Amino acid sequence: MKDFAELIKTLDSTNKTTLKVAALTHYFKNAEEKDKVWTIAILSHRRPPRPVNTTLMREWASELANIPLWLFEESYHIVGDLAETIALVIPPAEEPSEKSLNQFLQEIIDLKAKTEAEKKEYLHQNWLSLNYYERFVFTKLITGSFRIGVSQKLMTRALAKATDIDEDILAYKMMGNWKPEKTTFKKLILEENEEDYLSKPYPFYLAYALDGKVEELGDVEEWSAEHKWDGIRSQVIVRNDELFVWSRGEELVTDKYPEFEKFIGNIPNGTVIDGEILPFPEGKIGTFKDLQTRIGRKNISKKLLEKTPVILKAYDVLEWKGEDIRIHPFEERRKILEKLYAEVSSEEIHLHLSERISFKSWTEVAEEREGAREEKSEGLMLKRLDSPYLVGRKKGDWWKWKVDPLTVDAVLTYAMRGHGRRSNLFTDYTFGLWDDEKKELVTFAKAYSGLTDAEFRKLDNWIKKNTLERFGPVRSVTPHHVFEIAFEGIAESKRHKSGVATRFPRMVRWRTDKNIHEANTLGELRDLIPD
Amino acid sequence: MKPPLLAFNKKGIYCEAADVYLDPWKPVDKAIISHGHADHSRWGNKKYITHHSNVPIIKHRLGDIEVAGKEWNETFTINGVKFSLHPAGHIIGSSQIRVEYKGEVWVFTGDYKDENDGVAVPYEPVKCHTFITECTFGLPAFKWQPQAEVFAEINNWWQQNKENGQTSVIFGYSLGKAQRLLKHLDTSIGKIYTHGAIENMTEVIRPLSEMPESTLITRETKKDEIKGNIVVAPPSAHGSPWIKKMVPYVTASASGWMTFRGARRRRAIDRGFVLSDHCDWQGLLKSIKATGAEKVICTHGYTDIFSRYLREIGYDARTEETQYEGEMGEEESKKEVEK
């Protein structure tokens, strides 16, 4: 555990990528085999299920720290991280523990089935036998994800350095449905093993947002354009008469979308399609809200399947007749996909094609983009015709060109302290718009991002001096500041007081030039809802 | 009902019986000043009274002011009210202010810490009926290590950086933290360089406390001579063009706020050392107990939380609004530098 805690501490205490990679490489070269597997699992978000709920953990920690629960809760709001709060309030260890990372994880897995009294005993004992940073790491293993600025990509790079195996191959090996407690470092990383590959998806190729002018991409004839659909990016795999559906978050979601079972037998074995799962109520593409009725469900009722069926809007084909064809040019892969689509698509087989848009100039492309919202898409994807299917987020061959967001000017009404690197700073805000009489501000959205660190600090300072009331961690503030809030989508909602739900609201500008009476009204917001 | 001995009004903490203010935030005729930080010793008062070792500090900061210096424990009477200054241990020249009238005793801490930092005269608890305390770090999450351990870590960090061919840049505010750092850095590792804001303040303090030699970084300072040594700079120097001369460098901050991982990460500082000139949670509770006070007034910091806890454990505790900047203590140095 010590070397793992030391690794996390090093990763956590530098912002330099080279140092992070060096620390990880060092770890992967020196750690115990079993610990390495667990480290890969943890850094790729494969933690054991949470064995204790956090309410109990708070109670037990405050008891051990000998402080009242309310004081623990207040501290937590300020520290902004539960594991960190627990690590801080508990007294230092008398006899530090020597257990290894995989020992701890095995215990955490076993803990789930234990009684509440046993769980409490276990936590108290271990909290008291670890020092601050190890206690923090141990608690993190139980409570939540490690957000320490290490992407899977970065970990893969370090692993490649430590093992001399190609990065892309490693990325592929680490995908899919493996369990850290059931595999070994040798099996997972070092060995070649054909049958393991049956369910494995390919790493997704992700595009950056277009930053310059579209004309700068060069000759329009070298490019392909299609809509950027707003659903769940997925890979659908048919191999050996079995179906596997993977989401972009590397989650196996086959069972959630029984619609695709009919792909077996109709789509040839050895096919991997990259596409977007979209809701398709009443034979039309629905909104993301429709899709949300499907995402959370484990058991899909017949009724729901009829009301909100899904389709796969296919973008690309990555494997064909059992062969990895990612290296082939996009144009060639599309030809295969289009042929497949023409042969198999039907009422029964929910395979749709993300149509390529024909155009002769960038102006025509731009016009198509303007109309994206009506098509229920987020904008356009631009792909170079000769591009291979790369791994991860890469610049150059693929670009996403989203429609400009919708914006309104809103008034800051409430603030809450942030988490992680924003702990103890008021960075989570609630915004209001005027009701139609312009008398009262009605809450319409929350936003946490879009300001610079300097702006956050300035606003934090102002909030602390202009608090009207405190409601636990939330403070109401004097209505004074106006912000331009951007969002991607908008729909009616009965759940919101304003009657409107917005998608991805964020701050784009601090309108210091505007006073609160110049903010928009709810009526003006409702006018943005498409018919 | 008789007026309280000390009242909180728009200008500061007011003693009506003596017609004197303690650490006022608006200009007044007569001000007794706890210490030299900008939120406690403001510009524009007609007369200042403070500990004599704070006199050169506030003169340096505020210019030509009328100021009287007092000794520790020296009683001076104004309109029959007895005042005296007692060490607060926060920074050099920092005092608690004791006020006694008709048998009633109040103590105002200004800012204080209960650990001896080797530069400031150590804090001494003063018996009183009402204790007006800061609580900048009044949360159980704050727990300081002994200073010797923290400096062992700092010096070790410097040594490591030197071995890696890097310069160490450590941030701390210019009055107090900087001198504490200077005093305890291990000069057998290398030389100590300073930013102008730090050097100026340190010049003022040198006659009051012995400290190792420091070298001001000027335009003429060569890049090569700094390499592997340590540079003490105010936090606002982080990210400024000035720091480019230190390349290749690693940064650290020495502050109580470094307790929070997030505080260090959002400043993009490589290393955080938890080193504070205020009391931690236990320090506050012990100090309050040692005064024997029944009434406690919390002035700045996590006041609501801290006073609620004090009430739960049996004190008659409350919060008063002031303009001391406990919660914003992190920004303190910025103003110092911009002056």
- Domain CATH for B131: 3.60.15.10
Cβ–Cβ contact A337 with B under 8 A? no
DSSP A18-75: HHHHHHHHHHHHHS-HHHHHHHHHHHTT-PPPPSS-HHHHHHHHHHHHT--HHHHHHH
Q: Name the residue among B140, B272, B302 with its Cβ closest to that of A67.
A: B140
Task: Name the active-site residue from A34, A140, A200, A228.
Answer: A228
Band of residue A195 on the pLDDT scale cut at 50, 70, 90: low
Q: Is residue A214 part of a domain?
A: yes
Q: Which domain holds residue A473?
A: 406-526
Q: Is residue A165 part of a domain?
A: no
Beta bridge partners of A470: A475
Q: How confident is the model at residue A95, as a pLDDT?
A: 80
For A447, half-sphere exposure in the C-beta direction (CA atoms, 13 angstrom radius) is 32
Do B268 and A13 lie within an 8 Å CB cutoff? no
- Reported ipTM: 0.92
Both A478 and A385 in a single domain?
Answer: no
CATH number at residue B180: 3.40.50.10890
The two tokens of residue A254 are 């086959």
> How large a percentage of chain A has pLDDT more than 70?
98
Residues B206, A344: Cα–Cα separation, whole Å? 86
User: For residue B324, what is the nearest residue in chain A, using CA coordinates?
Assistant: A465
Which chain B residues touch A464 with a CB distance below 8 Å?
327-328
Residues A466, B46: Cα–Cα separation, whole Å? 31
The two tokens of residue A323 are 């062969």
Do A79 and B141 lie within an 8 Å CB cutoff? yes
Do A68 and B309 lie within an 8 Å CB cutoff? yes
Residues B289, B127: Cα–Cα separation, whole Å? 10
> How large a percentage of chain A has pLDDT more than 90?
59
Do A423 and B262 lie within an 8 Å CB cutoff? yes
User: In chain A, positions 456-475, which contact chain B (CB-CB < 8 Å)?
Assistant: 457, 461, 464, 470
Q: How far is A7 from chain B (nearest CA, A)?
A: 15
Task: Say whether pTM exceeds 0.90.
Answer: no
Both A76 and A223 in a single domain?
Answer: no
Per-residue pLDDT tens for A256-285? 899 999 999 999 999 999 999 999 999 999
Cβ–Cβ contact A287 with B under 8 A? no
Do B140 and A71 lie within an 8 Å CB cutoff? yes
* Angle between helical axes of A33-43 and A152-163 (0-180°, round to 10): 150
Question: What is the helix (H) or strand (E) element at residue A156, kind and residue range?
Answer: helix A152-163
Q: How confident is the model at residue A115, as a pLDDT?
A: 96
Q: How far is A469 from chain B (nearest CA, A)?
A: 12
Do B140 and A78 lie within an 8 Å CB cutoff? no
A290 with A279: CB under 8 angstroms?
A: yes
Residues B301, B130: Cα–Cα separation, whole Å? 18
Cis ω for the linkage preceding B122 (within 30 of 0): no
Band of residue A172 on the pLDDT scale cut at 50, 70, 90: confident
Both A328 and A373 in a single domain?
Answer: yes
The two tokens of residue B215 are 């070298």
- Reference B236, options B223, B253, B250; nearest CA is B253
Mean pLDDT value across residues A128-137 = 93
Both A466 and A515 in a single domain?
Answer: yes
Q: Is residue B74 part of a domain?
A: yes
Q: Which of A341, A374, A402 is the last residue of a domain?
A: A402
- Reference B261, options A84, A444, A123, A305; nearest CA is A84
Q: Which domain holds residue B48?
A: 7-141+277-330
User: For residue A65, what is the nearest residue in chain B, using CA coordinates?
Assistant: B140
Do B309 and A81 lie within an 8 Å CB cutoff? no
Q: Which residue has the higher pLDDT, B296 or A531?
A: B296
Q: Which of A333, A367, A402 is the last residue of a domain?
A: A402
Q: Which of B257, B273, B289 is the last residue of a domain?
A: B273
The two tokens of residue A321 are 């007749």
- In this model, does residue A75 exceed pLDDT 60? yes
The two tokens of residue A425 are 């700073």
Q: How far is B271 from chain A (nearest CA, A)?
A: 6
Q: How confident is the model at residue B329, as a pLDDT?
A: 44
User: For residue B328, what is the nearest residue in chain A, using CA coordinates?
Assistant: A461
Q: How confident is the model at residue A288, as a pLDDT?
A: 81
The two tokens of residue B193 are 């360089």
Q: How far is B320 from chain A (nearest CA, A)?
A: 14
Print the SS3 string covering A101-142. HHHHHHHHHHHCCCCHHHHHHHHHHHHHCCCHHHHHHHHHHH
The two tokens of residue A217 are 């991409």
Cβ–Cβ contact A68 with B under 8 A? yes
The residue of B25, B153, B264, B266 whose CB has the most chain A CBs within 10 angstroms, and thus the best one to mutate to test that interface, is B266
User: How many domains would you assign to chain A?
Assistant: 3
Residues A508, A447: Cα–Cα separation, whole Å? 10
Q: How confident is the model at residue A393, as a pLDDT?
A: 83
**Mean of pLDDT over chain A:** 90
Q: Is residue A181 part of a domain?
A: no
A119 with A111: CB under 8 angstroms?
A: yes
- Reference A444, options A492, A496, A520, A406; nearest CA is A496
Q: A228 catalytic, yes or no?
A: yes
User: How many domains would you assign to chain B?
Assistant: 2
* Distances A374 to A286, A356, A367, A474, B114 between C-alpha atoms, Å: 11, 17, 12, 38, 67
The one-letter amino acid at B101: Y
Q: Which residue has the higher pLDDT, A467 or A125?
A: A125
Tally A–B CB contacts below 8 A.
71
Q: Which residue has the higher pLDDT, A436 or B87?
A: B87
CATH number at residue A499: 2.40.50.140
Q: Name the residue among B260, B270, B331 with its Cβ closest to that of A423.
A: B260
Per-residue pLDDT tens for A285-310? 988 878 888 887 767 888 999 999 99
What value, to the nearest 5°, has the Cα angle with vertex A165 and ends A160 and A171? 70
Which chain B residues touch A74 with a CB distance below 8 Å?
139, 302, 305
- In this model, does residue A376 exceed pLDDT 90? no
Q: How confident is the model at residue A298, as a pLDDT?
A: 67
A484 with A507: CB under 8 angstroms?
A: yes
Q: Name the residue among A15, A71, A423 with its Cβ closest to that of B268.
A: A15
The residue of A424, A455, A470 whose CB has the most chain B CBs within 10 angstroms, and thus the best one to mutate to test that interface, is A424
CATH number at residue A233: 3.30.470.30
Q: Is residue A18 part of a domain?
A: yes
Both A416 and A392 in a single domain?
Answer: no
What average pLDDT values come out for chain B (339 residues) when binned by 10 residues? 90 96 97 95 96 96 95 96 98 97 96 96 97 96 96 96 95 95 97 96 94 94 93 91 92 92 81 95 97 96 94 96 64 37
Q: How far is A123 from chain B (nearest CA, A)?
A: 19
The one-letter amino acid at A218: G
Both B17 and B80 in a single domain?
Answer: yes
Q: Is residue B289 part of a domain?
A: yes
Residues A448, A243: Cα–Cα separation, whole Å? 39
Residues B250, A7: Cα–Cα separation, whole Å? 19
- In this model, does residue A29 exceed pLDDT 90? yes
Which chain A residues touch B302 with a CB distance below 8 Å?
74, 78
Do A12 and B272 lie within an 8 Å CB cutoff? no
Which chain A residues touch B304 with a CB distance below 8 Å?
470
Q: How confident is the model at residue A15, as a pLDDT?
A: 75
Q: Which of A375, A402, A429 is the last residue of a domain?
A: A402
Q: Which residue has the higher pLDDT, B134 or A471?
A: B134
Q: Is residue A354 part of a domain?
A: yes
The two tokens of residue A526 are 């409702």
Both B32 and B51 in a single domain?
Answer: yes
Pick from A65-69, A193-197, A498-502 the range whose average pLDDT is largest.
A65-69
User: For residue B264, what is the nearest residue in chain A, using CA coordinates?
Assistant: A421
Do B141 and A13 lie within an 8 Å CB cutoff? no
From the centroid of its chain, how far is CA B31? Answer: 19
Residues 6+ away with beta carbon under 8 Å from B9: none
Both A414 and A298 in a single domain?
Answer: no
Q: How confident is the model at residue A256, as a pLDDT?
A: 87
